[in-house]
Structure 1
Amino acid sequence: MHIFIKNMVCNRCIMVVQQELDKLEIPYSTIELGDVEMETAPSPEKLQQLGKQLHTLGFELLDDKKNTLVEKIKTTIIRFIHSNEGEMLNTKLSVMLQDALQVDYHYLSTVFSSTEGLTIEKYVILQRIERVKELLQYDEMNLSEIADSLGYSSVQHLSQQFKKITGLTPSGYRQLQGNDRKPLDKV
């Protein structure tokens, strides 16, 4: 049995969910972004307790099929963008999502757009821009390396997209003292 959890977007989130499962003595076999595979189905009472506790921590148990699918799309995209595997970035997004979720891309796109109010492609752009912000703050890569690592066709394309979304050039953003990055679950 699988349970799906909204806003579970990082390794720290996995650790928090793992701690809650352990506290409630709910056996599980694996925990990944947004997904917990259970060894056995927990009682409805335990599941309700887990849901309440996760809600206080900013997570949400998903029971609706469309919301679950949207969360799977988001976590797949986050993994895709943050994987640092250059060959993955050469894969067409629609093919990657279809292969990962075993669902027709047109259906994925329709469900995502109707649920989130933006297209999958726009969501990917927003996630990529957040990743660019992160890499700019680390200051370990130049813009050309960042563009290459995130699959942009050129530095100019990255810069134009960055300015369109943030209102700043990448170099202007790098010079900012403050951090205006969004948590991945708020993108």
Structure 2
Amino acid sequence: MPRHAVPTPPTTVLYIKHMVCARGIRVVRRELEQLGLQVLDVRLGAATVVGAAGDLNWAAIRQALGAAQFALLESFHQTLLERVDAAVQKLLRQAEPCPRHRAFGAAVAAELALPYSQLNAAYTRLSGGRTVAAFIVHQRLLYAQELLATSPLGVSAVARRLGYSSLAHFSGQFRRLTRCSPSAYRKRGAQVQFPAPRPPQIMQAEGSQV
């Protein structure tokens, strides 16, 4: 008798905000499983569950994630920007030292399981022209400000911690953005205020896909 192939059950990807570490991944998996969902995979910013989107109890999912201090994202454009930000923050704060410049973008793409060229093209389009590399530099320097203001690390140690092989390169980038050298910033007790990062403007593009 001929064997009939078992149909593959439909799956749905949930995009989730505020997942920035391994603990967040564990908590999200637990919350979804407690709802009776079969969780196939959880990675930074996303979880894959068995079931068609139309069959899921979205209100219950939204409520459970909200109670655990997460937020369900329901726009593709928003999810990509949020997932890139979460991956950058994870790599900045958990890797010592964090990846160097060329490797950083590849590491972000690996976190999102996407080819870097594809990720960068989609991110640039959705953010209004800002590349992934430019966003990484900005976030790296924001974290440099935080370390200089709140940690005992010296300027050279901060540069190494953030993946800079050249102190001159680090100082030049820091000065261009703040109009202040890292050493002067530290000596002045962090009185110099860093420019507030402008969130990327989401460009609505019909049929945008990564």
Same fold (TM over 0.5): yes
Aligned pair 1:141/2:156, yes or no? no
**Percent of residue pairs bearing the same amino acid type:** 22
TM-score by length of structure 1 reads: 0.69
**Residues 9 and 184, structure 1, Cα contact 8 Å, conserved in 2:** no
Q: Which structure has greater helix proportion?
A: 1
1:124 matched residue in structure 2 = 136
1:90/1:156 Cα in 2 relative to 1: closer, same or farther (>3 Å)? Answer: closer
Which residue in 2 is equivalent to 1:160? 172
Q: Which amino acid is the alignment partner of residue 184 of structure 2?
A: G
Identify if the C-alpha distance between structure 1 residues 103 and 33 changes in structure 2 by more than 3 Å, giving closer, same or farther: closer
CA contact (8 A) 2:120 2:131 kept: yes
For 2:95, the equivalent position in structure 1 comes to 84
Pair 44,173 (structure 1): closer, same or farther in 2 beyond 3 Å:
farther
CA shift, 1:124, in A, is 0.3
Q: What letter is aligned with 2:149?
A: Q
| Alpha carbons of structure 1 residues 180 and 50: separation in structure 2 relative to 1, 3 Å | farther
Residues 70 and 90 from structure 1, CA distance in 2 versus in 1: closer, same or farther, beyond 3 angstroms?
closer
The range that moved more, 107-116 or 97-106, is 97-106
Alignment of 1:100 onto 2:116: no
C-alpha change, 1:62 and 1:110, in structure 2 (3 Å) is same
Q: Which secondary structure state, in structure 1, belongs to the residue aligned with residue 15 of structure 2?
A: strand
Give the C-alpha shift of residue 170 in structure 1. 1.4
How many angstroms apart in 1 are the aligned matches of 2:179 and 2:118?
Answer: 33
Q: Which has the larger radius of gyration?
A: 2
Residue in structure 2 matched with residue 115 of structure 1 by the alignment: 126
Question: What is the deviation of 1:82?
Answer: 1.5
Say if 2:120 and 2:132, in contact at 8 Å, map to a contact too: yes
Q: Which amino acid aligns with 2:86?
A: T
Aligned-residue Cα RMSD (Å) equals: 4.3
Local SS of the residue matching 2:14: strand
Structure 1 residues not aligned, in runs of 5+: none
Question: For residues 87 and 139 of structure 1, do their structure 2 counterparts lie closer, same or farther at Cα, with a shift above 3 Å needed?
Answer: closer
Instruction: Give the conservation status (yes or no) of the 8 Å contact 1:66–1:111.
Output: no
Deviations 1:118-141 (A, max 9, x none): 111110011101110121122311
Gaps of 5+ in 2: 1-11, 201-210
Please give the residue correspondences for 1:168-187 in structure 2 after superposition, counting only pairs within 5 Å.
168-174=180-186, 175-176=188-189, 178=191, 180=193
How many residues are treated as equivalent by the alignment? Answer: 183
